[in-house]
Amino acid sequence: MKKKLRLFVWEGYSPDYTDGIAFAIARTEEEARKKIIEVRGCEPYTWGTLTVHSLSKSIAFEVSGGG
C-alpha cells in the first residue's frame, strides 16, 4: 500500500540574512528532501525545523518578513 502524500515544510531553512522556507509534497521526508535538493542543486547547510501536514484537510501557512 502506498503512503499518502503529505506537505513537508521547513522553517529556518538555509538562513542567510533572514531565515528561508522550503516545502515539498511527497510521501516521505526522505523523498521530500531529495526533491528540494534536486531543485536547489545541492544540499542546504541547515534544514531548519520541519512540520508535516496531512493533505486530507485545508490548511494555511505563512511566514512574515522582518524589518
Structure-block grid coordinates of residue 49: 525545523
Q: What is the mean pLDDT of the chain?
A: 91
Write down the pLDDT at residue 67.
59
The pLDDT > 70 percentage for the chain reads 97
**What is the model's pTM?**
0.88
Mind listing the pLDDT tens digit for each residue in 18-28? 888 999 999 99
Stretch (H or E) spanning 52: strand 49-54
The pLDDT confidence band at residue 34, using thresholds 50, 70 and 90, is very high
Whether the pLDDT of residue 48 is over 90: the answer is yes
What sections of the chain are H helices per DSSP?
Answer: 29-40
> Residue 9, Cα to own-chain centre: how many angstroms?
3
